[in-house]
Structure 1
Amino acid sequence: MKSLRVAAIQLTSVANWQENIAMVEQWVAAAAQDGARLVVLPENVFLFDGKAMRSLAESDAQQEILQTVKEMAIKHAIYLVVGSHPLINRPDGELVDQHRVRQSCLVFSPSGELVKRYDKIHLFDVTVKDKAGTYKESAVIEPGDIHPSIIEVDGFKVGLTICYDVRFPELYRALSKAGADLLLVPAAFTYVTGKAHWRTLLAARAIENQCFVLGVNQCGWHNETRQTYGHSELLAPNGDLLSALEEEPGYFVFEIDESSLVECREKMPCLSHRRL
């Protein structure tokens, strides 16, 4: 049966995109050296500054960043998933209004082609008991169109989501119904919400959909008010923890295999028992 070596790269991204891209190049090279075929970066990977997303997306640096990502995918012969990156155009080419961006998960193939784009649907407008206090993503991000987004990588169907999406199981059920084997959750979970819910949410999405789930998080202090949780994790279709990081930048590589999916789904065929 088929298998796929997947990598999670955990970072402490900052407001300087040059620093971030240098870190990414280092960790991607290491993961590829360890045999990764699908490499996943976290949310806000090249810019951890919501107020600056529009200006970056409109700047000359935008093309440089995307060209560097393309070259990394080609150089290492990998599928490279940019957890999220600000774009000023909707998928149909229309411009987002002047104050906001689309927060887009971008997948580049080993040939350097942008083969899939998923725009974040659910926006983090909440109050959290941390130094930031209140978060309002809708002030700088326009929500994406509502549809499941799946790409095939070496025979595995991979579903794309971003961060706050993980709290909305209906999206993951739609991806499951569309045939997903692996669900990606690039994220920048706050430390408080991550400590409370990160593992539980990832495990729930894995168990209820009988899919592998790969949560790839930011970690550490990004500025004086924003701390993220880390603990990037890969969950098996039965919810077992397969690989994980702690609260520092780093990466892991793990080989998932089709046999685990088949065994889980045959022993407890929940997907065929669905009534709704």
Structure 2
Amino acid sequence: MDTPTQHSERDRSSEPDTGPGERSRSSRTRARIASALSWRRVLGGAVAATVALLLFSSYVVQPFLIPSRSMEPTLRVGDRVLVNKLAYRFGAEPKRGDVVVFDGTGSFVREDLDANPLTGLVHGAAASLGLAEPADTDFVKRVVGVGGDRVVCCDARGRLSVNDVTVDEPYLYPGDTASRAPFDIVVPAGALWMMGDHRSRSRDSRDHLGSPGGGMVPVERVTGRVDWLGWPPARAGSLEGTGAFGGVRTPGGAHG
């Protein structure tokens, strides 16, 4: 006859082996699962953050890397500025003196019908995060004339005038005049006349007078207004405005 003790011994001997080796393998499996889940969470968080940043830069504020000397001394090569994309979203339009980023397709550059859309998409995403230079069609310039303005250059002192009012431009690169090439233009409604602050190093509306559109940039091509300088830290802060055009009167309208 079996004794209770013998039953107990047989019951224990029928249980699966849970010795040190089995427990070690189980611990390693749990650790691998936890690690995989942790990486998935990190990756998912990174993707979500990137998407949120792309959406923010697409609709609110976009970093923009300054690629050339055309806006010196206001902006320098390598500066990273923040473009306010809401500045002209609710009925407001660019004003004389604003520094803006715009798409120069059709005004400053011809449309590239053979461009690779995937390459453009990837580069555009990197540029919108401030990680790459802007596309060849993106420009940063200062608004000098708005719709209806007559812009003439230059007088005996090398200054331009807008609507018969002489404009002193304190933001010009030291030693530059308003323009080495004379011009006399009237800006069509819904368009802008753009110029760089470093006039002797800037390819702007003046260089496209003989092109279709006459160098005028449609208002709808403006991406936003440069409101802040984010890098380098020593110069970070709001971009100062200018009162250079304060005495200019819009034909049939107000000053400014």
Quickly name the TM-score band, shorter chain normalised: under 0.3
TM-score by length of 2: 0.23
Structure (1 or 2) with the larger CA radius of gyration: 2
TM-score by length of 1: 0.21
Structure with bigger strand share is 1
